[in-house]
């Protein structure tokens, strides 16, 4: 059986959240995606995770931190202190538009700085030092 590589987005999310490895992050993302309700709580997510995460208090707390990170990037919203709402059916749906935007940004060639800006700064320095 061929071993698949770790998704770079999952790797970034796991890097940010200590005590959760890539496999845990994948399970949390799958749990959030499987929630059909409009509004859900951390408990709803925890119920969908394996027992090894449910029984570890620190890992449960880190699941909450992961949800906060997902809210920071815009995939989730918090209508109240303990409730969450998905802004897209899955994280991949949410990120797809941003990946297209990123693609268009990368196609724009960077402009080298113009010589006028450097000369302008030197002229200002010369004017202030001659006073």
**Which residues have C-beta within 8 Å of that of residue 115, sequence separation ≥ 6?**
none
pLDDT at 108 over 80: no
Domains of the chain: 8-109 (1.10.10.10)
Q: What is the DSSP string of 23-68?
A: HHHHHHHHHHHH--SSEEEHHHHHHTS-HHHHT-HHHHHHHHHHHH
- Looking at per-residue pLDDT, the higher value among 83 and 15 belongs to 83
pLDDT at 74 over 70: yes
Instruction: Report residue 18's pLDDT band, with 50, 70 and 90 as the boundaries.
Output: confident
CB 26 within 8 A of CB 10: yes
């Amino acid at each position: 059986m061929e071993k698949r590589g770790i998704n770079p987005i999952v790797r970034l999310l796991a890097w940010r959240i200590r005590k959760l490895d890539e496999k845990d992050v994948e399970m949390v993302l799958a749990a959030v995606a499987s929630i059909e309700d409009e509004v859900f709580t951390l408990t709803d997510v925890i119920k969908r995770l394996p027992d090894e995460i449910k029984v570890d208090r620190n890992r449960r707390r880190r699941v909450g931190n992961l949800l906060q990170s997902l809210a920071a990037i815009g995939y989730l919203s918090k209508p109240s202190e303990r409730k969450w709402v998905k802004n897209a059916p899955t994280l991949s749906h949410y990120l797809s538009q941003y990946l297209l935007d990123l693609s268009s940004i990368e196609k724009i060639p960077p402009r080298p700085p113009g010589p006028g800006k450097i000369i302008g700064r030197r002229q200002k320095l010369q004017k202030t030092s001659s006073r």
